[in-house]
Structure 1
Amino acid sequence: MSSLFDPLARVAYRGAYRLATAYWFVRRPKTEGTLVGVWLGRKVLLLQNSYRRAFALPGGGKHWRESPQETGARELREEVGLHVSPHELREVFETQGTEEYKRDRCHFVELELQAEPSLVLDNREVVWARFLDLDTALQLPLAQVVRVYLEEAARRRAPGATSP
């Protein structure tokens, strides 16, 4: 579902992201959010935002009184059109990130799928999303906290490791 407005929206996202990064550089805020590892066997869903070069996972900032699972379910719906209940998401990992000049508390939740779902991208904020083998994903330029999570997930999902 592409429109003539999509390229303008992508420019707006890039501009807003640059302004936000400048603000974060000055203020060094504390933030909190959730990223979702969507797994199909050893394949993980990665996405590309229009305003960043690094690959990411679906996710975003936490709303007031929202649990990590609720944040994850909302972000999956908003970013890739995947509708899941927060109860289907399992919190597995938490880390602190300092990328983008903020002190970001990042929760990771996981969703295990049996079949590849249809994804719906807005082609404005999210311009690409695919399931990639974990080893392939780790070779890509990844956001700092995404790399930390995927390396930890690789240890948990290694042959002979206890199940996640």
Structure 2
Amino acid sequence: MSSLVDPLVRIAYRGAYTLALGYWFVRRPETEGTLVGVWHGRKVLLLQNSYKQVFSLPGGGQHRGESPRETGARELREEVGLSVAPSELREVFEARGTDEYKRDLCHFAELEVDAEPTLALDNREVVWAAFIDLDTALQLPLAQLVRAYLEEAARRRGQGTSTP
């Protein structure tokens, strides 16, 4: 039954996202959230949402009273089925952006894993996820703040990139 419903839910997500973009265009809200860089050596976990054309990291908006690490842990569980304690995440970077007509404050946290974990995608909001080499990831179409984080991570980790 899920395979019959999934395409309809993806259509609903695209519609809701389009409406949200219109709202954000008019209101220009201030938002705050967390994205999580899950690293396995030189590879980072990227994902594809059903309603966006760019690649991103697991993450999302902060709930009232949540810390950035709590938000990151919740979003990892919701988006890719990875359960970690907030204390396992390390806050490393913060950036502001105006992508999608919002004034975003985005916290970035990191998680280092010894082996690539088994991921559980809902195939509705998140339709693809994989660990990608950092240099390759930087060649992909990325969300604005994700690109800023990955470029900063490359510098911080002492890894050269092939981007200009």
TM-score interval, normalised by the smaller of the two chains: over 0.9
State the aligned residue count. 160
Q: Does 1:13 align with 2:13?
A: yes
What's 1:80 paired with?
80
Q: Distance in 2 between matches of 1:47 and 1:26?
A: 28
Q: Distance in 2 between matches of 1:149 and 1:4?
A: 37
Alignment of 1:40-119 (within 5 A): 40-119=40-119
What's 2:37 paired with?
37
Q: Residue type of the partner of 1:110?
A: E
What's 2:139 paired with?
139
Instruction: Calculate the aligned-residue CA RMSD, in Å.
Output: 1.2
Change (3 A) 1:42 1:17: same
What's the CA shift for 1:158?
1.8
Q: Distance in 2 between matches of 1:133 and 1:63?
A: 31
SS of residue matched to 2:104:
strand
Q: Residue type of the partner of 1:47?
A: L
Identity %: 79
* Structure 2 portions without partners, runs of 5+: none
1:111-158 Cα offsets, whole Å, 9 max, x none, are: 000011000000000000000000000000000000000000000112
Could you state the TM-score of these two structures normalised by the residue count of structure 2? 0.95
Q: Residue type of the partner of 2:148?
A: V
What's the CA shift for 1:28?
0.2
* Structure 1 portions without partners, runs of 5+: none
Q: Residue type of the partner of 2:157?
A: R
1:58-111 Cα offsets, whole Å, 9 max, x none, are: 000000110000000000000000000000000000000100000000000000
1:3-43 Cα offsets, whole Å, 9 max, x none, are: 20000000000000000000000000000000000000110
